[in-house]
Amino acid sequence: MALSRRDFLVGSVVALGAAAMGERVSRARDGQKYEVESTNTAPTYEIYALKWAGPVPRKLAVVLWWEDWNKDTEMNYYVWAIKGKDEIIVVDTGSYLSLADERRLTHYVNPIEMLASFGASKTNVKKVIITHCHWDHLAGIEMFSQAFPEAVFYIQKKEFDFWTKNPIAKRAPFAKVTVEKSIRAISQMEGTPRLRLISGDAKIMPGIELMLTPGHTIGLQAVAVNTVKGTAIVASDCGFVRESFEQDIPNSVITDLVAWMGSFDKLRAKASSIDLIFPGHDVRMLNDSPKVAETVARLV
């Protein structure tokens, strides 16, 4: 059906007005409903780093790929909280005490207790994002599942399939960086409403996007977050420290180095500023950001 000149002009004015005002407008055309929506309507969130262990001494060459085996540095261990108006999204699950002790991590704090003191509860934590299946990011999954019974766990399908179904994951280089208990726990969620397998990049709610960033592991994912300062990235172990993104140097725990370099480019292109890319283990995330508790810092 031909569109009259009047309908064309009215439709154009409405669309331009919606873009300018950040509003969503519905109109009828040829019996179909269409919408005009501004990207400026996405809500903003705050991002917090919660240190559950550390600082722990590490060789610089582990933190920055082959940089200097004779030099020491330090790492912290974190989970992250993305705080919205009515919901707290948690990124990663940390570890339980006995495993932290076994791995010789100092200054352990239960991540669930930290989150509770921060305001997280079984009613406002609906989403837990698993960046990857290494032990320090997944080992707390059982206690998180119990503490947040309404939460859905999000993980990349590539990551899930490798660790739960590929026999290579049982071999020594991979077995050293995970624990069978946590792999079994997430595997048992398959096919239930509590596990969401993601294939590639995906917006899971307004202002929150999961991004496939392989290299450190086969299916590592980062989280892009709309904040008052622009797009920030919870990068997890796509870089252990800030220098990874500044100097183009990954850490030494590598599955695919070529893919990793592409992931660096992807995150730097997505973030509004390189200062808004938050790495997985940098002590400065806690030390240089405003603290809301002894082990909790507001990043943005």
Same domain, 12 and 80: no
What is the per-residue pLDDT for 92?
98
What is the per-residue pLDDT for 3?
42
Q: How many domains does the chain have?
A: 2
Nearest to 250 by CA among 64, 42, 100: 64
Nearest to 198 by CA among 132, 246, 252: 132
Same domain, 32 and 49: no
Mind listing the pLDDT tens digit for each residue in 273-293? 999 999 999 999 999 999 999
Using CA atoms, how far apart are residues 192 and 164, in angstroms rounded to an integer?
A: 15
Using CA atoms, how far apart are residues 57 and 43, in angstroms rounded to an integer?
A: 39
Mind listing the pLDDT tens digit for each residue in 90-111? 999 999 999 999 999 999 999 9
Same domain, 137 and 207: yes
User: Residue 2 carries which DSSP code?
Assistant: P
pLDDT band at 40; cut points 50, 70, 90: low
Q: Which amino acid is at 237?
A: D
More confident call, 17 vs 147: 147
Nearest to 90 by CA among 134, 25, 45: 45
List, as one string, the DSSP characters of 251-292: -S--S-HHHHHHHHHHHHHHSS-GGGEEESS-THHHHSS-EE
Same domain, 100 and 18: no
Instruction: Write out the residue range of the structural domain in which residue 220 sits.
Output: 42-298
Mind listing the pLDDT tens digit for each residue in 157-187? 999 999 999 999 999 999 999 999 999 999 9
Same domain, 294 and 175: yes
Nearest to 111 by CA among 51, 48, 185, 178: 51
